[in-house]
Amino acid sequence: MVTAKKAPNPIDKHVGSRVRMRRMMLNMSQEKLGEALGLTFQQVQKYEKGTNRIGASRLQQISEILQVPVSFFFEGAPTPGQAAGMEEAPSPAYVSDFLATADGLALTKAFVQIKDSKLRRRIVDLVQALAEQRST
């Protein structure tokens, strides 16, 4: 009998993406994090994708290695089912998903180094104009 592969839990995916984002912010490889945890980089990869759930003691260990409180991994996490008929507010998950990518992290690091607020505003305007152009 073939069983369908179960989709990762949204909270496990979120926590994993926050682990990935923080690891990348520290310029740490999956191998180095795995080494510090006594795991293979493949296991770290599964944690980051949400494929494997991170236990409480392991999450505590990861928070110490990545130098953030455990609560960091749950910031912006999806909330379990809302009451029927209530519309869900837009999720901020797209921000953490973007920041968890190499491009998102590089863009953010470069952007915050620009001290001129008017120049930053012009860059935002440019990106918005490009996004609107692509969607038409």
Which residue did the predictor score with more confidence, 95 or 38? 38
Q: What is the CATH number of the domain that holds 25?
A: 1.10.260.40
Rounded CA-CA distance 65/96 in Å is 20
Exposure b/e, 110-134, CB count within 10 A at least 16 = b: eeeeeeeeeeeeeeeeeeeeeeeee
pLDDT digit string (tens) for 76-105?
A: 888 765 433 444 554 556 676 777 778 888
Do 67 and 111 share a domain, yes or no?
no
- Look at the chain and report how many structural domains it folds into: 2
Average pLDDT for the chain: 83
> Whole-prediction pTM value?
0.65
pLDDT for 2 equals: 59
Q: Residue 63 contacts by C-beta under 8 Å, 6 or more apart in sequence? A: 69, 70, 72, 73
Q: Residue 77 contacts by C-beta under 8 Å, 6 or more apart in sequence? A: 11, 14, 15
Any domain includes 101: no
Query: Containing domain of residue 115, as a range?
Result: 106-136
**Which residue shows structure tokens 């009998």?**
1
